[in-house]
Amino acid sequence: MLFHVRMDVAIPRDLDPGERARLVATEKERALELQRKGTWVHLWRIVGQYSNISVFDVDSTDELHEILWTLPLFPFMRIEVTPLAQHPSDLAAQP
């Protein structure tokens, strides 16, 4: 199952700088791990914002939920999830 996920991050300005650096590094490490695994298929930055657009390929909505809830920066994110389905005019859908 493919999902389009928008993540907007708002880390509090008063968070300890060391803790912020640790969280950001841990988040990057987790994102790279999920990309190597093939779960986090695409990751794009939204220019001028601390936000991204991502595509996840997971077996279920529960799996995506678990992944998102365990991201290190999750407590500071606003997340929008959209399920995706193949479009009949997509080249890959043609016989």
Confidence of residue 95 (pLDDT cuts 50, 70, 90): confident
Q: In one letter, which amino acid is 5?
A: V
Q: Residue 28: pLDDT above 90?
A: yes
| CA distance from start to end of the chain | 21
Model pLDDT for residues 10-24, shown as the tens digit of each residue: 999 999 999 999 999
User: Which one of 2.60.40.10, 3.20.20.140, 3.30.70.1060, 3.30.365.10 gives the CATH number of domain 2-86?
Assistant: 3.30.70.1060
The ranges assigned to domains in the chain are 2-86
CA 48 to CA 55: how far, in whole Å?
20
Phi/psi of residue 65, each to 5°?
Answer: -55, -45
What does pTM read for this prediction? 0.91
CA 72 to CA 31: how far, in whole Å?
10
